[in-house]
Amino acid sequence: MSFKNKIIVSFVCFITGVTSAFSSNDGWLNILNEGGNNKGIKCTEAIQKTIDKAAVSGGGTIFFPAGEYVTGALKLKSNICIYLDSGALLKFSDDFEDYLPYVTMRYEGIVMQTFSPLFYAKEAQNITIKGRGVIDGQGKAWWNEVYRIETAKQPLPLTKYQKMWEEQNNGLVYSPYYQRTIDKKFFRPSFFQAYNCSNILIEGVTFQNSPFWTINPEFCDNVTITGITISNPHSPNTDGINPSSCKNVHISNCHISVGDDCITIKSGRDEDGRKYGRPTENVTITNCTMLSGHGGVVIGSEMSGGIKKITISNCVFDGTDRGIRIKSARGRGGIVEDIRVDNIVMNNIKEEAIIMDLFYDKSNVVEPVSERTPIFRNIHISNVTATNVKKAGTIRGITEMPIQNISFSNSIITAQEGFTIMTSKDIEFHDVKVNTSIGSSFEIEDTSNFIMDNVATASPIKDIPVIHLKNAFNGMVNNNFPMVLTPLFIQAEGKQTREIFLKNNVFTNVTTVVKKELDLNKKAVIE
């Protein structure tokens, strides 16, 4: 055989080997060889049979070459990989019938029976979705149905699906706060929900037009989400990535623009969440960009099972309503603790850059401390650069449970309004500059045990203090050196304001160091 012929034979063998790898050999199943089609004709049955076939053999990869595929809900099983080649578009049907029968899923923190998620797995392991293709949830039909129900001016006849929901969820326990949502009796499916699974990898693909939350692992262990794009338009509750009651979660290198929160960490709602008692813990979020969305990274409000050991680093938020948001309310219970946020750049933030709030349901009724009482503690934020922000931040605890042990360091925030700290304790600011155009850089009220160490503003306002204290006590203001002419540094008021110590400050550029209001004890501020 000539050298030329050897080359030709070798090339043919190579091509044959590649083709075989993407057919039925070595665990690869080419969907086009298994009864599917890439012409946009619904082929749910063929795809599901291929998944089942691979599962029976111990697992495998379902390969989607370039082209358009249409399917209804898919049930993923152990050791299954969905691989979408570049140019592959997997579109989910907008026919509600394709998401029956109802399955067990968690919806906004409550376990119930409702429509199957588009990708659904229960009690499985080693699940992968990867590639360079696009997966389209065609969520508009779902959004329109919610809009039809919510905007009706009078009660509507129940649909078939609402009647089914009533029948299959008899005895469901929920808080009065959730009544409005329950009354809809219509619960859209998540794009991807793995329920009580382990070893999940989602990599490279693009998700768009989700009916509801996009990537939503529930009660899962070892979840990796990396290099994906999520693109949802202005639409109801189309969050990006929502791990709930999960542990060992790694989110990296993602690009997210959605109709609600970009990344949200949760662990169940109220009594139902406390019943399961599964915290979300050991979560890393890094190297992600968040564009449109209500929040960049959000914790809560469903956090009744607890949330702990979370790191958020090296992320960009550009155009979200809020940056870092931690929220809960009386009745939730649960503990949010041991949170680290570092190296964050924010721009064009419509509300707060950072907010921790225990008034998510706006209830002002003080309760005895119990399992219903939410707790925020041990949260540390550093190296934040934020520009074009409406408000630098808010920390607002409840009377029976102040937010505690919070620190900010090495950050520069330029905003219309500064920080408001209320009903908190053990609060520290170190090397933080807040430039405002309206009001004080730091408003501290009903707060104890605080340190203001080398804080400043580059834009002091006439007759407006940099630090405004109201009923604050046991505080240290130290190591401050305003570098620009500052008319007023501290204003103190309130009968409860006391034990405010000023140490090691250089106020040569300050006209008035402390303005003491009439209701202030003369010995409240010690210079």
Active site residue 255: no
Could you tell me which of 241, 36, 215 has the C-alpha nearest to residue 121?
A: 215
- Please answer whether residues 207 and 152 qualify as being in contact, where contact means their C-beta atoms are separated by less than 8 angstroms: no
Q: Report in angstroms the alpha-carbon separations of 130 from 133, 175, 272.
A: 8, 38, 33
Half-sphere exposure of 487 (CA within 13 A, CB side): 8
Q: Three-state SS for 408? A: strand
d(CA 317, CA 165): 38
Angstrom distance (rounded) from CA 219 to CA 264: 15
Residue 188 structure tokens:
């859209």
Gap between the Cα atoms of 89 and 71, Å rounded: 11
Query: How far is residue 201's CA from residue 228's CA, in Å, rounded to a whole number?
Result: 11
Per the CB < 8 A criterion, the answer to whether 194 and 214 are in contact is no
Alpha-carbon distance of 448 to 422, in angstroms, equals 10
- Are residues 342 and 315 in contact, defined by beta-carbon separation less than 8 angstroms? no
Active site residue 294: yes
Catalytic residue among 260, 272, 357, 446: 260
User: Which listed residue (239, 261, 294, 468) is catalytic?
Assistant: 294
The residue whose two tokens read 């429509």 is 115
Instruction: Answer for the pair 162, 182: CB distance below 8 angstroms, yes or no.
Output: no
Q: What is the DSSP letter of 98?
A: G
**CA separation for the pair 343, 288 (Å, rounded):** 12
Q: How far apart are CA 178 and CA 184, in angstroms?
A: 11
- For 101-149, give the DSSP string: S-EEEEETTEEEEEPPPSEEEES-EEEEEEES-EEE--THHHHHHHHHH
Phi and psi for 274 in degrees, rounded to 5? -70, -30
Residues 6+ apart with CB under 8 A from 15: none
Report how far residue 191's alpha carbon sits from residue 121's, in angstroms, rounded to the nearest whole number: 12
Task: Read off the tokens for 358.
Answer: 């225990």
> So which residues are the catalytic ones?
260, 294
